[in-house]
Amino acid sequence: MKSPNRREEEKENIMAVFTQEHRIASRLVYQGKICNLRVDEVEKGDHTVIREVVEHNGGVVIACQPEPGLVVLVKQYRYPINGELIELPAGRLEKGELPLEAAKRELKEETGYLASEWLDLCKMYSAPGFCDELLHVYRAQNVTLGDKTPDHDEETEVIVIPVKDAWQRVRNGQIRDAKTIAGIAMLV
């Protein structure tokens, strides 16, 4: 077994092979309600390259468990794919909003559930090849059910199933949303 110091040295050596990129110029191409798009010219070693970046405030994902072994999912229509997806409750951070507060708000809006016990499971980038969105994944437990308070343009169907069934839906392709797959995997 390698020592922790040896592993750190190897990690540093691996990272050293990549050329760091430095932004030379940046142009905001689109500014929207949900995201912005900017095009950067970056210096990479002895040449320049173009990087397209979607800027996003970040978001939250909630693995809500009304009982041990169960998970709350939502089915909703997603315009970019012109179809319905089964997902964990999730949403974007408003400017200045703390992730845990956003998670509590989104869980209530999309499902009606309120939780008194929250656990920070992980943080992950949704698509770091072109987007800076950082997702905060939480587990919500010790829940009570109230009324949903969806946004005016949001319609969800709440589904409560065993975690093992949710994982089977991942395996058979019924659940294809990356943040949901990661969140369910954290529960398996």
pLDDT of residue 153: 77
Q: What are phi and psi of 91, to 5 degrees?
A: 180, 175
pLDDT of residue 6: 60
* Residue among 73, 76, 90, 62 at smallest CA distance from 186: 62
Mean pLDDT by 10 residues, the chain (188 residues): 57 64 95 96 92 97 97 96 97 96 96 97 96 98 88 86 98 98 96
pLDDT of residue 9: 60
Category of 160 on φ-ψ map: left (φ > 0), alpha (ψ -120 to 50) or beta: beta
Q: How far apart are CA 170 and CA 73, in angstroms?
A: 12
In the chain, the largest separation of any two C-alpha atoms, in whole Å, equals 59
pLDDT of residue 154: 74
pLDDT of residue 152: 76
CA–CA distances in Å: residue 123 to residues 57, 58, 92, 138, 168: 14, 10, 14, 9, 24
pLDDT of residue 13: 57
Provide the 10 A C-beta neighbour count for residue 55. 15
H runs (alpha helix) in 38-173: 99-111, 163-171
Give buried/exposed letters for 14-32 (b at 16+ CB in 10 A, else e): eeeeeeeeeeeeeeeeeee
pLDDT of residue 151: 74
